[in-house]
Structure 1
């Protein structure tokens, strides 16, 4: 697997991952196009070495000292192989290099695998957003101290 910046040509593959990965609140291709075209964002893709297929995607934004992890999606048949972890780590490196001190995210409280991934990287829960993903679907807001992250993982 290799990580790199996403390009507009990756949009169909990214949209396919999005449809596969989210049964609710899926982003439209136009939303992803906006991410790809925004100058303050980093959209990373993970590609298979075997066939160059997009097998994962993540998007990040920094605003001064705070970075946001907007989305991580990994192809279903490639989950549990560390792809999401590598995407998030690369985004954290990018954000820290731009001066961000912490990274924030929202995750569905029922998404145990994602919560385990983020917790394993050092994200800690800070609050909950009720009905964030629709009626009865709450989000857990999590934060990562980027300075502590690098001290612990360096």
Structure 2
């Protein structure tokens, strides 16, 4: 069973919100947020990853001139450990490169060690801390990678 990636559609949003809510609990995006991103943000690029036509993960990214910001990325808990996060991240970086992006950045909870290890394996570096980014006392590491130097 090979994973497949496709552009996220409005028909995918209910499933995406299920994964989002299970993955991010207190900071999960709402259905309305995903709808706004898909219908009203000209900088947004959202994709899903599926196994056997079942959506098991997704990512979102804004591309503005020579910078890309990964806004969200998650894999269904039942499918973690299968390198689907790496599959999504590789696709996101390749997509950014195809838009002539120089830098891809993201935020990650400072205690999310599996995600941090994944980002480091792709060459992401630390760029600072965003205090209370995920709520009071929940800081984020800002990480970035130069697309052409990885």
TM-based fold match above 0.5: yes
Distance 2:81 2:58 in 1: 15
| Residue 29 of structure 1, CA deviation | 0.5
Q: Following superposition of structure 1 onto structure 2, how do residues 1-154 of structure 1 map, counting pairs within 5 Å?
A: 1-37=3-39, 38-49=41-52, 52-149=53-150
Calculate the aligned-residue CA RMSD, in Å: 0.9
Deviations along 1:35-76, one digit per CA (max 9) or x if unpaired, are: 222332111100112xx1110010011111110000001000
Q: Helix, strand or coil for the counterpart of 1:22?
A: helix
Q: Which ranges of structure 1 fall in alignment gaps of 5 or more residues?
A: 150-154
Provide the TM-score with structure 2 as the length reference. 0.94
Deviation of 1:86 after TM superposition, in Å, equals 1.0
Q: How many residues align?
A: 147
SS in 2 for 1:136: coil
CA distance in 1, matches of 2:129, 2:44: 25
In the alignment, the residues of structure 1 paired with residue 44 and residue 134 of structure 2 have an alpha-carbon distance, to the nearest angstrom, of 23
Q: Any gaps of 5 or more consecutive residues in structure 2?
A: none
Q: Return structure 1 stretches of 4+ with deviation > 6 angstroms.
A: none
TM-score normalised by length of structure 1: 0.92
- 8 Å CA contact 1:43, 1:59 repeated in 2: yes
